[in-house]
Structure 1
Amino acid sequence: MSLARNITLHMPKRLEIGAGAIARVGEWAGDAGRVLVLASPHTAGLVDRLGISGHVTVFDAIPGEPDIPCLEAALTAARDAQPDLVVGLGGGSVMDLAKLVAAMWDGEQGLADVAGPNRVAGRRSRLVQVATTAGTGSEAGIRALITDPVAGNKIAVESPHLIADLAVLDPELTFSVPPAVTAATGIDAMAHCVEAFTNRKAHPVIDGFARMGVDLVGRYLARAVQDGSDTEAREGLMLASFYGGICLGPVNTAAGHALAYPLGTLLHLPHGLANAIIFPHVLAFNESVVPEKTAEVARALGLDPADGLLPAAHRFCADLGVEMRLSAHGASPDQLSRFASDAHAIRRLMDNNPRDMSVEEALAIYHAAF
């Protein structure tokens, strides 16, 4: 909590913000040569709007939670395309994959060689990240996550070589995101900010970005859920997501994301939804050790904790249309112990939490969310 702790901020070299900003990718890229666009089946139709000149190859076989076989297929496509420019056009999963492809396709390193912090040798392709959701903030950050389908966990890669040369926040690209997805991804963006804000490694510089992100979610998330074409609200959420991505660099998330990850790898819930379900429980769990910051979050979100913080935060998420019961998403009671043990083992996040959380306390949260 002191400025005495050294931190390093990595940000995209250039950021384009605003309605229609996607068209500026082509202007920035110039004669791009060979281009590989990584997209989802839902975002592949946006490729023409990039305005890129050159030979464009599209790889869109990317699921909601990309795994090691998906990465290997994308690297094969990249080695066939020999791209001078890699573009991530999609949500966090697509952009995470784009980072790894840009950094790895033209080198000798495999995933095991780059896993962990600062092990990427370097990048030879320019990288553009075009966000089409407002949640992960992946366009701002230096981390990429890939699921190991055998171990049932996520492998994290962290390196300044994963930062984008150009990031694009175009609110028009999020107009078609359904209300339920808008709500869940918006809560995910807010959770990035809250978990960094209340973190053991919290830093005043990052607190500033976190406060702005939480404030934007409090002002605009309900509006964007109610009217998907509200440009101001959509842009506000994209900024909140970007600020959350900045928070992930020098501080990162904590128990909330640790508890959410098994819901993605084992229950196959979308990342934003998993975080939305967990968020109220961890916010309330940490309240006793970070009361002032928790109260600040509650005020920014307009929560009325008169009958308790947990019910108030739960109502905030549920009123946005999020189904908050794990049982409604296919979870069974016998899975909860595995969720708890897997989450507790994610020490890179659990050790950031302001309050120690035992396996039994993690299990109690899953039971409460069930």
Structure 2
Amino acid sequence: MAIAPITLHQPLRLAVGAGTISQVGPWAEDVASTLVIATPITAGFVDRLQLPGRFSVFDAIPGEPDTATLDAALEAARKTRPQMIVGLGGGSVLDVAKLVAALWDSEQTLEDVAGPNRVAGRRTRLVQVATTAGTGSEAGIRSLITDPVKRTKIAVESPHMIADFAVLDPELTYSVPPAVTAATGVDAMAHCVEAFTNRRAHPMIDGFARMGFGLVGRYLARAVKDGHDTEAREGLMLASYYGGICLGPVNTAAGHAIAYPLGTRLNLPHGLANAIVFPHVLAFNQPVVAAKTAEVAAALGLGDHLSSDELRSSAYDFCGGLGIQMSLAAHGAKQEELSLYASEAHAIRRLMDNNPAEMSVQDVLGIYEAAF
């Protein structure tokens, strides 16, 4: 089978390591005005950026940002007319920062740019400083925003949204609570695993994916146990970054499609939603991608030569052992709503069509019921 061509986009500059956040100011010494997109918590890191010139902070970013959040952030940018946008936070913050950099000084609206390659251009410099290790948003060209009316995710993808400078400073993740560390770590792993076992899998992306889920297997439990373990924190930030690279040319598959309704309907954090469905999707796909699934299982320490039931059970124990509550019922899901989730997830063809094994609506419902 011929290997399909791919195009890879990465930040122009990447700094990795403890204290690297302090490189942003010197790098941007010619910038007179900056808008920092953050949360009330991550806004506490602003001084560490050592920004030149004047800056303002927009920190009204919820866990799952919607179109109203983006509108408010765009309004803040239009008031301050910044020469640089800094995303300082987790995936939600970084996703909003990309769109603000692309749209605040543009005639285009979110509706105009939804989908792939519809952003006309970007004038504003973009720095992405990750404060969690999960989405890998700092590495990529994609942004997701919730449409509160349709209760779906609007995906925007454009090379104009790649960061000019991305920073992976493990010290910024010391204060991330164990539960969030666990869930975001599984999200990073899921990006890698879903790209690795994908119908559109590519040898080059396979390399990034292997590095990513291997790092999660090595370091996630350590970081959950000790938040100040710098080596483990840095390992997870790299895993997340590699997962972000996987998203660009290959993307995720059924796991993420099945997780999305849990975010839009139950308001579950994205990483947690992915963790809950991960064991079930991994086992479902195993018969079709047996060799690659065995690689994943070995890297995560799940065991060798596992049946589908053993794999599901071992992956469930891996996630549960990190302290993740793996029952949908415990998170407020109602049995009678599962078929609605299933029809919504099954309709996300941009991801479902990537899945190595065909999934019917009933198969998706079966996964929700198994996770219930």
Q: TM-score range by the shorter chain?
A: over 0.9
Percent identity between the two aligned chains: 73
**Deviation of residue 27 (structure 1)?**
1.2
Q: Give distance in 2, aligned partners of 1:286 and 1:48.
A: 46
Correspondence for 1:308 among 293, 307, 310: 310
**1:42-81 to 2 correspondence within 5 Å?**
42-81=41-80
Superposed CA offset, 1:106-154 (max 9, x none): 0100011000000000001000000000000000000000000000000
Distance 2:164 2:279 in 1: 35
Q: Does 1:176 align with 2:175?
A: yes
TM-score calculated relative to the size of structure 1: 0.99
Residues in 2 aligned to 1:215 and 1:72: alpha-carbon distance in whole angstroms: 39
Match runs of 1:187-206 below 5 Å: 187-206=186-205
Instruction: Please tell me whether residue 354 in structure 1 is matched to residue 359 in structure 2.
Output: no
The equivalent residue for 1:295 is 294
Letter of the 2:61 counterpart: I
Residue in structure 1 matched with residue 10 of structure 2 by the alignment = 11
Aligned length: 369
C-alpha deviation, 1:42, in angstroms: 1.3
CA distance in 1, matches of 2:71, 2:177: 30
Shift of 1:325: 0.2
Q: Counterparts of 1:225 and 1:68 in 2: how far apart (Å)? A: 33
Q: Which residue in the other structure is 1:158 paired with?
A: 157
Q: Which residue of 2 aligns with 1:333?
A: 335
SS at match of 1:134: coil
Secondary structure in 2 aligned to 1:133?
coil
Aligned to 1:41: 40
How is 1:1-370 mapped onto 2 (pairs within 5 angstroms)?
Answer: 2=2, 4-304=3-303, 305=306, 308-370=310-372
Aligned mates of 1:28, 1:34 — CA distance in 2:
14
C-alpha displacement of 1:31: 2.9
Q: Deviations over 1:144-195 (max 9, x none)?
A: 0000000000000000000000000000000000001000000000000000
Given residue 349 of structure 1, which amino acid in structure 2 is its aligned partner? L
Structure 2 CA distance for aligned equivalents of residues 349 and 139 of structure 1: 21
Alpha-carbon distance between aligned partners in 1 of 2:161 and 2:215, rounded to the nearest angstrom: 26
Encode CA deviations 1:38-89: one digit per residue, 9 max, x unaligned.
Answer: 0011101111110001110100001000000110111000000101000000
Helix, strand or coil: the match of 1:164? coil
Q: Which moved more, 1:183-192 or 1:297-306?
A: 297-306
Structure 1, unaligned stretches of length 5 or more? Answer: none
CA distance in 2, matches of 1:19, 1:174: 10
> Secondary structure of 1:127's match?
strand
Letter aligned with residue 108 of structure 2? Q
| In structure 2, C-alpha distance between the alignment counterparts of 1:91 and 1:342, rounded to whole Å | 26
Q: Deviations over 1:275-315 (max 9, x none)?
A: 00011110000000000000000000000347611001000
Tell me the secondary structure at the aligned position of residue 259 of structure 1. Answer: helix
Shift of 1:351: 0.2
SS of residue matched to 2:129 = strand
Task: Look up the SS of the partner of 1:207 in the other structure.
Answer: helix
- TM-score when normalising by structure 2: 0.98
Alpha-carbon distance in 1 for matches of 2:13, 2:124: 16
Amino acid at match of 1:260: A
How far, CA to CA, are the matches of 2:41 and 2:358 in structure 1? 40
Give distance in 2, aligned partners of 1:352 and 1:71: 29
Partner secondary structure for residue 275 of structure 2: helix
For 2:77 and 2:358, the matched residues in 1 are separated by 43
Which residue type is aligned with residue 146 of structure 1?
Answer: I
The SS at the match of 1:308 is helix
Moved over 2 A (4+): 304-307
Distance 1:64 1:214 in 2: 24
Residues 325-362 of structure 1 show CA distances to partners (whole Å, capped at 9, x for unaligned) of 01111111121111101100000000000011111100
CA distance in 1, matches of 2:260, 2:93: 17
Residue type of the partner of 2:88?
L
Q: In structure 2, the residue corresponding to 1:53 is in which secondary structure?
A: coil
Q: Which is further off, 73-82 or 297-306? A: 297-306
Distance 1:70 1:249 in 2: 24
CA deviation after TM superposition for structure 1 residue 32, in Å: 1.5
Deviations 1:80-99 (A, max 9, x none): 01010000000000000000
